[in-house]
Structure 1
Amino acid sequence: MLSFIKERPPVTDLSANFFTINHDFTIAFAYIEDFSYLFSTGDLVGRSIREVLQEGYTADDWIYPERRKPYTMECYAESRKASFMIKVFPSGSSWFLVLEDNTTIKNVEEVLGESNREVTSLAGRAYDVLLRNEEPRQIFDKLFDYLSQHLDLDVYFNYIVNESHNKIELMNFQGIPEEMAQGMRFLNYGEAVCGTVALTGERRIEEEIQQNMNEMVSFIKSMGIKSYACHPLVAHGELIGTLSFGSKTKERFRPDEIHLLKLICERAALALERTSIITSLKNRNQELALLNRTLETEKEKSQQANTAKTDFLLLVSHEFRTPLNTLQGFTEILLENSDQTFSPFQISLLNSIYKAGEQLEEMTTEVMEFVRTGQSKSVIEPVEISRVLKKWAGAYFGLTSSDPLPELIFQNGLMEGTEVLIDQNSLELVLKQLISNAVKYNRSNNEILLKSSLVGQNLLLTVEDRGIGIRSEDLPHLFTPFFRSKANQPAIEGLGIGLAIVERAVNKMGGKIKVSSKVKEGTIFKLYIPIP
């Protein structure tokens, strides 16, 4: 049984589980990996959401037709002991729903909540210790005892900035003998792991240390440490030291463990600030308020960036998926009765339409995965390059509604049947985007040139047009997501992500892309893709 917990403003983390519901509550598209237990078996597309939900849940619990703004609900599957979120995005007369499992996040939040209370308590006691002229080492020893029970830790080192020596000095530690500690009492900035963290102000996570040949980790490697996390201790923008933890039993830290250590170190820095070890921090309350405002600003920026990603995903889903499903559906209906109605040539055209729709659906899925993860999956296989190029040279007229279409000239510099190991999906995605742009930004009665050749150990592909060209001041921003030249707006439609996708796809193939252009003369894109 699913129980409704609460409703709150929508969050923006993207999920791999989502589906679209039409105005009549039928499912237009579904991509469900982790939530099959919520639905009945079989293909969901075309069925009513009211019929497929399981465990006593109803569509009326999720869909509120009167609400036109996105909203998010937290739910709990009692039979699975699983927490999940449902994010609903109204779009016209349909709804886009995202399902996200947050059971792990809830568990981590419980652990972090306990650690926050423990560190807060330690910070308060640290102030009392200082007033009694006692050493604050007991604070870190108790903190380490607490963490070692949860994370299998064996050592910790706490270095403090020593301004008179211009070094960092070991003040608190556990897990090594006193004589060894004396040998590592002072570290130069940039020396070993802790000195490097003190120099850069950035945390370092070293894992599988016993297989690591980096000189930086040689000292902790000699102790038998296998994984090591070192964080800078920063109070109100000022470095006050470092705090590090090591394990001799585990090769790697889990992501939630790394996050927990980060949080602990942030609290530890505040604890040191509260004990007045750093005397320069006098106006504690005002500076904490400033720090909180800074964190809120960063949080706001992060939410805005995630909102942009979500909006793009919704746009792709709504603008591509809905008409594509309609196209595929009607094409299937025509093909079912094609023998009695259409000629063989017409049937072949219908099959071409259907295959083109399938290909567009695959590309849309690839783009959605690209936005969600920043890197789609690579499948390296032998590919006959000439066949792929001929395919897109012959199908380019389907990429745009431009009329009249410019002539596309294909100059193949490869031997017929030449195969190379390459990610065909990425290659076709690049060709589709570049040829589509060449058509879109071309001028009437001008040709487009598609060339292929081998240059050393690289496959060289060239897409050249005689179109409107690109201004020199726009070239540095050409591959920036969502960038659109002011010279083209609003005359030419587009989101400004096509060339960003091209660059990511080329990088994924280990290649490079170069562009040259002159206004009113045309643009040349050259792709250099290494081949084994």
Structure 2
Amino acid sequence: MDPLNSKGRLAWGLSAIWTLLVAASLLWNCHQARQTALELASTEAQLSHNKDLGYRLWAARHGGVYVPVTPETQPNPYLSHVPERDLQTPSGRRLTLLNPAYMMRQVHELAAKIYGIKGHITSLKPLRPENAPDAWETQALKAFEAGAPEILKVVDSPNGPHLRYMRPLFTEKDCLKCHAAQGYKEGDIRGGISVDVPLQPFLLGFRTQTFTLAAGHGLIWLMGLAGIVLGNRRIQRYLGERQQAEEALRLSNQRLDLLAETASRLLAAESPQQVVDSLCRKVMKYLDCDAFFNFLVVDDQEGLLRLNTFAGIPEEEAQKFELLRYGRTLCGCAAQARAPIVAEDIQNSDDPRTALVKPHGIQAYACHPLMVEGRILGTLSFGSRKKTSFSADELALMKSVSDQVAIAMARKLAEEALKKAYDDLELRIIERTADLQTTVRQLQWEIAERLRMEEALRQSEERLRFLASQLLNAQETERGRLSRELHDDLGQSLLVLRMQLNAILRRHSLDQEPRRHLEEAVNYLLDIIGKVRRLSQDLSPAALERLGLTEALRDLFENFQRYSDKEMTIKAELDEVKDILPEEANIVIYRITQEFLANVHKHSEATQVTAALKVLPEKVTISLEDNGKGFDLEEIKSRPQERRGLGLTSMEERLRMLGSKFSMTSRPGQGTRLYFEINRIL
């Protein structure tokens, strides 16, 4: 079962995958937003630390800073050993020396009041006990002594989460002025500056960004779902069109098989009237009809038809109209008008011509006259109880079958007339031979009569050939029409469908799975298009009309080797044949070669085929030979006509129609050779 063919399954699967992808993207973006907030806070802490460090270095390099003594800024008792700690200006203003640590402590207290960012310079051996580190700072200072370059951590507090950052302070030469007494040397880790940044403002921006991300992802999720729904509808529409194309191809193949079987059985039948019943039942089943009627003309002058065969109604009902006059019912009117008549929605119609079929529930009815050269032989009609009308294709099939039946009947009637004339002639000869004492005049009259009858025999033979030619021409015409329908209608529709699918692949960004399914569908569609093209080529070879017989045969041999599922070598020596044979002869040569290759593929098990087309001054010779298993030709010829096989019968009939010399040789294990000649146009 095609997974795309289950309505909703693909859409639900894609929707679930899409939802997971959007959710994952949202979680990842939220995580990135929180990381960005923390990075901003970290940057803020580092900037604050660098600024503090810059203040401290500046103060250290200047040996401290003298500031006025105020209640908030009293002389530093820990600098009492420093000369000139306190000074007085000439105006009597008292100044005191602030070392870098004292200055940084006041800067940190001011920044904490204004910005909320707390700074703290501390050490494991502080000069001022109030500068002693807290527990987190103690761990950080010990980590510095172990080699850590900096410490960064988010900690919780009653006022919310905070980001704490700390880097070590190294002893410089300017620092020894105050801290040499503690035993520090230049380059020692003397302590560190810690920065405490509240995270609440940053997390507030994170929450706002999270809401924006959620809204944006929600909108993208809805747009994606809409795209999935639209894509699913297109896929379902494509599946429907693909099924329609496959069904059309299947029906076309069935129709071709049915027409081929009809033609071959009618051609091989000794009595076409007897095979009409079985053929019409197959046609009736193919068309989904419920009844058919075949009437034959009893007397065209009297306008009388006789029921030959039927199906779909009780026999006792059929006996009521075993004889039918022209102009009565649909079949009588079709025979009288020499034209097909179609009746639709019969049960709701007041047409009196439907009286024959209306009581039996027939809804749609089509009757075609059996005509050959303007001569009416009978009628063939089909009826349906389920549908109220027939399509154009159904009516065309009925017409084709009716034409084939008419041609076969006309051929049989001509053969019967010829046989009757011959029998009559023989009877007259016997009767006249018994009367040896008739006068010479009477004898001359009999000879003249015999010559006249032989001329009639010859004309009948020519007419028979003409009818066979018409039958074969009708087959070629039907092949050409079906070929054009396959190429122009079905082939173009499949090509447009392929272009639409390729456009979907190009214009839409699909996930891997649906893209793979669409690409498989496009490849399968390409295979269908190739099969349709090959079927169209087999029905009516365009190369024969476009390039001529020689190139058409080369094309046929190349295609046979290309598409055959068996290893096969074809050696062909083909002279150029152009404007030296009738068009009908070109078609016959092509079809016989086509039939020979088909028999080679099906039966002979050959590995090599040799073909030769030679142009001689007065004729063209053709020979076809394979190295296959061969067969007993005499045994085949001894069979009844209907058991000889359609291929051999078709070849003989086509060549007999052209007056060609024809020979076939074959023995078991020695392959098969076919040879025939066709006169040139001089």
TM-score grouping bracket, smaller chain normalisation? 0.3 to 0.5
TM-score by length of 2: 0.31
Select the structure of larger CA radius of gyration. 2
TM-score by length of 1: 0.38
Q: Greater helix percent: which structure?
A: 2
Greater relative contact order, per chain length (Cα 8 Å cut-off, separation 6+): 1
